[in-house]
Chain A
Amino acid sequence: MFYILCPYCKEHREEEEFHPRGQAHLMRPEDPDNTTDEEWGDYLFFRDNPRGIHHEMWVHSVGCRKFFNITRNTVTYEILETYPMGEQPTITADDPSVRHEQGAQVADGGWQTVGARPENTALNEETSS
C-alpha cells in the first residue's frame, strides 16, 4: 500500500484515495492527420515497462480529483517524487545517483535482466561487478 504525497493537497495520503492512470508524459500527436498509422498505433497502444525509474500518472480520485505524476522505482516501489501536471521530473533513469537501484539480485546470484531495456545491459553488468 503506497503512501502518496498529493502535490496539490500537499499531504501524504493512503493509496486507497488514488487511482493509477499509467505511463506519464504521453504526448497526443499535435496533428493527427499527418501522423502515420504506425505512429498513431504507438501512441495508442505502446507503453514503457522499465525496471527501475518510471514516471506514472495518478489521480487523487477521492480527494482533490487532480491528476499528477509520480516518479517511482518499479523494483523497490519507492516513490521518489510527485509533481503537478505540466512539470518535468527532477529524477530520471539517466541520473547516475539512482542507477544502482535498477538491478535486482536473483536466487542464482546473477542479476535479473528480464524486462530490462537494451540500454540497461551495461547497467546490469556494471552493478553486478
Chain B
Amino acid sequence: MTQTNRLSAGGRIDRSHGLEFTFNGQRYQGFAGDTLASALLANGVDIINRSFKYSRARGIVAAGAEEPNAVVQLGAREETQVPNVRATQQGLYDGLVARSTNGWPNVQRDVMSWVGKLGGNFMPPGFYYKTFMSPASMWMTYEKYIRMGAGLGRAPTVADPDIYDHMHHHCDVMVIGAGAAGLAAALSAARSGARVILCDEQEEMGGSLLDSRDTLDGVSAVRWIEQTLNELASMETVTLLPRTTANGYHDHNFVTLHERRTEHLADTASDAGFPDMPRARLHRVRATRVVLATGTHERPLVYANNDLPGNMVAGAVSTYIRRYGVIPGNSLVLTTSNDHAYRAALDWQEAGRKVVAIVDARANPDGDLVRQACDSGIRVITGSAVIEAKGTQRVSGARVSAVDLDHFVITGRIEDLECDTIASSGGYSPVVHLSSHTGTRPQWDENLLGFVPGEVKGMLMAGGVAGHYGLDNTLSDGARAGRQAAIDSGFDEAGELNLPTVKARRDGPACAIYQVPHEKKGLRVPKQFVDMQNDVTASAIELATREGFESIEHVKRYTALGFGTDQGKLGNINGMAIAARCLGRSIPEVGTTVFRPNYTPITFGAIVGRHCDELFDPKRYTALHQWHVEYGAEFEDVGQWKRPWYFPRNANGKKESMHDAVARECLAVRQGVGILDASTLGKIDIQGPDAREFLGRVYTNKWAKLAPGRVRYGLMCKDDGMLMDDGTTSCLGDNHFLMTTTTGGAASVLEWLEVWHQTEWPELQVYFNSVTDHWATMTVTGPEARKLMSEVTDIDLDREQFKFMDWKEGNVAGVPARVFRISFTGELAYEINVQANYAMQVWKTLFEHGEKYDLTPYGTETMHVLRAEKGLIIVGQDTDGSVTPEDLGMHWAIGYDKPFHWIGKRALSRPDTMRGDRKQLVGLKPKDANVVLEEGAQIVLDPNQAIPMSMVGHVTSSYYSPVLESGFALAVLKEGRERMGQTVYLPMSDGKTHEAEVVSTVFIDPKGERQNV
C-alpha cells in the first residue's frame, strides 16, 4: 500500500527517513516525525476501531490527547503490550506494531455492528443492565460475551522487560504546555533567574504554533519556537521536558509529570539501544507557582452520523496537513460556528484538493479568514449547518440545511453535498482539567462560550486556557503570567519580554451551537454522538433528563458521558449543553462534572517506578536470619519481619510436614529444651524521673512498687477501655525501664506513649526510645533450660536467687547480656538479650552446648501452640478492639484503686463494658479429639435453630496439641465463664456441625508449676 494521502511537500516530517509499521497485521510505511495517527491517515486507513457499545466503525477525529476513537493496543510481543494508547500521541518508530482494541472478528467486519444497527434504537442508556439483569447469577456469563464484543485493550500476561523510575523536583515556576503562551511564560520567568520546568505532552514543543498560518516578526512560527527553545535550553535553571504529560495537579502545587522516554523509539528501551534507560519516568514536582498554559480543545458539532470515519474536528485537519503533510481525504465540507476553523478549508485548498463548501451557522460571518475564503473562491453557505453525514464505512456526503438555533429546528430545503470529509468546529473549550484536579470548579464564560478554570492558590493561567485567543493575545498573556509567577516566587522583575510582532487578525464573533437540529425528532434522528468513546448520543442525554436525572453528575453516571479513558475531552461540554437545553436551564446552571487525575492514562510501570519486586516493601531480618535460612526454616511475614515459622527436618530425603515439625518442636519444649528467636518483639527504652508514674498511667496494673531487677506483665488499653497491646516491662533502675510490645505493635505503641506525653502530660519528665533493633532476643525454654544455661553463663541460676519474673545482668557465651525469667510457653524459660551484633555467636554457642540436650529451634507456629495451651493471649488474634481486660478474665491485672485515673479506667464502668452478657475468653475442647476447629468459626447454642442462627461467639485461636493429643481452641463466648462444662456447637460451611465443651483457657499445668521448676 502506498501513502495515498501524503502530500508531496510540507510538514515537519523527515521524508528521507522512512519507517515501517504494522497495524492489524498489515504493513504500512510512514516517516520519522509522524505519529501513528498521521501515518495511518497517510495510508488511507479509515477504520481504526469499533465503538464500545454499538460497534460502529470509527476513525481518527482529532490530532492530540482529546482523541476518543483511535485508541490502540501497542506492542510487538506479549511482554511489551500496552493498552489504551492514543494513536494521535504515539510517535511512529520503525517496527511499531499496533492493533485495534476491539472489533470481533475484526474491525472491518464486526458481528456486533449488526446488533448496533438492528438494535440501536433499542439500546438506550442502561440497556445491558436493564436487559440482562435477571437472573442476577447469569450476569457474569452474559458479561463474558458482551465483553468479547467490546473492550478497550488488554494488559500483558507476562512481566514487563522495561524499567521505570521516579524523580523529585522543587522549582519556582512550573509551566505546563509549551505552545505560544507556555513558551513566552517560561522564557519570561527564566530570564528573571527563577528555576523553571517546562513540560509538554506532544512529540515536539510548540503546540498550535507548529501548524499555525501566522508569522512572527515576518518569519514562520517554527523559527520562533526554535529560537526560544534554544535560549531556554542554554539556561542552567531551566528543565525542558518534552513528551511529558502533566497528569495530575494535587494539593499545594504538587504536580505529577509522566515523561515517555523511549516509547517513541522502539518496543522496549533495549530495542532502542538504551538498555539502562527507563521507558517512562514519573516526575513529582513541588512548585512555588504553576503556570497553566494548556490551551484549548476544539469542540466538534453534534450532527447525525457525526462518528463516521471522515468526520474530524477542523483544527485536526489543519494539523495533519501542515504538520505531517497528510491530507485526510479528497473533498471537504467544513461546518463551523466560528472564524478560526476557516483555516482548515484554506489549508485544504492550498494543499490542492477540493473544498466543496464551508457551512457557517452564523447569518453574517465577517472576519479576515471569512473574506480570505470567499476571495479564494470557496462557497460559503451561511445560517446553516451540516445536519447529517452520509455514508456507511466512510463519509460520502453531507446533508446541509438552514437552521434556526433559537427554536432548534431546521428551516428551508435540505441540500446534499458530495464529499469524503466533514470538518466541524463548534468553538473551543479551555483545557481546564488540571485545575479541576485541585477541587476547584470551572467557571462559564458567556463571551467565550466555554468554561475557564476556577481559582487555584498558587496557579496562574496563560493563553487559551484563560480564554485569550489569537496569537498576539496569547503571547503577551504568556509573558505576563511568566513574569508574575517569577515575582511571586521572589525573583525581581526581569523586564518586559521583547515579544515578536504578530499580524493581528480580525475575527468575527462566534455563535453558540452544540447539537445540530435534524428534520426528524427524538429517537428517529440517526445517531448524533456526543461522547464517541462511550457511545453516548444526544438522544441518550435527552432520555436521561426525561427519566428524571437532573444533576449533570447523575446524567453522567446514567449515560456514561465522559467516563471513557478520554474523560470526554471532546464531548463533555456538548453533553452539558444538550442537558441544559433539555432541562430548560443555562449551561452554568447545569455546571460541569469533575475531572480527576490522570489527564491521560498512564502506565502502571510509571506509577510503580522502582517500587517493585524486592523494593516493593522493606523487609526486616533479625540478626540470626542467616542461621535460620541455613537450617531450612520456613518463614512467616509478621509485619515487615521475616520470622521462622517452623523448622522442618529432612529424613530419608523427605521433608517433614508442618504438622509433624510443629508437634516435634512442641514436645521438645515440653520435655527437653527449645530455643526461639524472639528478636522482633518491640522494645522501648523508657527513662526519666517520672518514668514509673508514666507507666502507671498507660498500663492498667500497678507499677509503683516494681523493684529494680523485677519484671511485670502489663496490659495497655485505649481510653475506651479496650485492650490495645500487652507485654512485659522490666525495671532496670529506679528511673529506667525496658518495655516490650507485640511485634506488630512496636511503632504504634511508641507513638501512643509519645502522644500522651506530648499532648496530655508534658509536665512528666520521661523519654522514649525504640531499641528493638539494638537487642537480639533468644528464648531458651523447657525443663532442661537451666542445665543448658548454666554451661554458658556466669549468672547464678539458683531458683531462689533468680526467680520467675526476675531479670539479671551477666555474661552469656562471653558477651554482656540481660537475662529475663519470663515465660510465654509455661515452661522454665530464660529470655537472653544481647547486643544484636553478638547474637549469632551466642546462638551458636548455645547450640554447641545444647547438642546433648537435643536443643531444638522452634518457630512462631510452635510458639502459638505452646502459649495457647497455657491460655496466654495474642493481642489482635484473641482480641479485636472490642475486648476489655475483664472480658479476658484478667481482673488481677487491673489496678482500680491506683491514684491516677489511668487510660481506659473510666470506660470500664460504662454500661456497655459492664454488661453481663459480654463475650468472654474461654477454652474450647472439641468432643472429637481429631477435630481442629476453624479459627473464626461461629459458635451457636442450639444446632437445630433455623437460619439465621443466633451466634454467641467465635473461635479466636485453634491448634492441635501433641501433649493433649487433641485439638483445642480459645474462643470468645457470650457469658462464657458461666458456661464452663456446657456443650456448644460450631456449624461449618460444609454442613458439618462440630461439638465442643467450654473449658478453662489453661489446658496444661493449671497451677503454673512448670515455669518454676
Contact = CB atoms under 8 A, between A and B. Distances in A.
A108 B586 CA distance: 10
B589 A35 contact: no
Interface size class of B (residues with CB under 8 A): 35 or more
Interface stretch (B133-141, B246-254, B926-934): B246-254
Given A1-B252, A61-B751, A107-B590, A85 B758 contact: yes
B254 A40 contact: no
Most chain A CB inside 10 Å of its own CB: which residue of B250, B252, B438, B552: B252
Contacts of A115: none
A67 to B, nearest CB: 5
A76 to B, nearest CB: 7
Given A1-B252, A40-B906, A107 B552 contact: yes
B905 A32 contact: yes
B555 to A, nearest CB: 10
Interface in A1-59: 1-3, 14, 19, 21, 28, 31-33, 35, 37, 40-41, 43-45, 57, 59
Contacts of B551: 107-108
Nearest to A61: B751
A106 interface: yes
A85 B759 contact: yes
Given A2-B252, A109-B591, A32 B759 contact: no
A108 B441 CA distance: 12
A108 B591 contact: yes
A48 B349 CA distance: 66
B907 interface: yes
Contact of B589 (A37, A40, A43, A109): A109
A32 B589 contact: no
Interface string A100-111: 000011111100
Contacts of A43: 719
Contacts of B760: 28
B744 interface: no
Nearest to B457: A78
Nearest to A84: B758
Contact of B754 (A45, A67, A76): A67
Given A3-B286, A33-B901, A35-B906, A59 B755 contact: yes
A118 interface: no
A77 B910 contact: no
Nearest to B455: A76
A117 interface: no
B439 A107 contact: no
B901 A44 contact: no
A93 interface: no
B901 A32 contact: yes
B719 A67 contact: no
A51 to B, nearest CB: 13
Contacts of A40: 906-907, 910
Interface string B545-566: 0000011110000000000000
Given A44-B719, A77-B439, A108-B589, A67 B759 contact: yes
Contact of B250 (A1, A78, A85): A1
B720 interface: yes
Interface string A76-91: 1111000001100000
B250 A33 contact: no
A96 to B, nearest CB: 19
Task: Give the residue among B550, B551, B906 with the most A Cβ atoms within 10 A.
Answer: B906
A23 to B, nearest CB: 12
A88 B593 CA distance: 39
Contacts of A41: 910
B917 to A, nearest CB: 19
Given A32-B901, A66-B758, A85-B758, A1 B591 contact: no
Contacts of B593: 107
B974 to A, nearest CB: 22
Interface in B316-342: none
B918 to A, nearest CB: 16
Contacts of B755: 21, 59, 67
Contacts of A2: 251-252
B616 to A, nearest CB: 16
B68 to A, nearest CB: 23
Contacts of A33: 901, 906
Contact of A1 (B254, B550, B719, B720): B254
A4 B909 CA distance: 40
Nearest to B168: A14
Given A2-B251, A3-B286, A107-B551, A37 B759 contact: no
Contacts of B457: 76, 78
B702 to A, nearest CB: 18
B588 interface: yes
Contacts of A78: 457
B90 to A, nearest CB: 30
Nearest to B256: A1
Given A1-B251, A76-B439, A109-B589, A37 B762 contact: no
Contact of A107 (B592, B910, B911): B592
A31 B551 CA distance: 51
Nearest to B440: A76
A3 B254 CA distance: 8
Contacts of A14: 286
A107 B754 contact: no
Contacts of A32: 901, 905-906
A64 to B, nearest CB: 11
Contacts of A107: 551-553, 590-593
A85 B758 CA distance: 8
A74 B911 CA distance: 36
A79 B759 contact: no
A97 to B, nearest CB: 15
Given A1-B252, A44-B719, A105 B758 contact: no
A40 B591 CA distance: 45
Contacts of B251: 1-3, 77
A10 B552 CA distance: 45
Contacts of A19: 751
Contacts of A31: 901
Given A37-B910, A44-B907, A107-B592, 7 more contacts: A1-B251, A19-B751, A76-B457, A77-B439, A85-B762, A108-B550, A108-B589
Shortest beta-carbon contacts, A-B, top 4: A107-B591, A32-B906, A3-B252, A1-B254
22 contacts: A1-B250, A1-B252, A3-B251, A3-B253, A14-B286, A19-B751, A28-B719, A28-B760, A32-B905, A33-B906, A43-B719, A57-B759, A61-B751, A67-B754, A76-B439, A77-B439, A79-B252, A85-B759, A106-B441, A107-B553, A107-B591, A108-B591
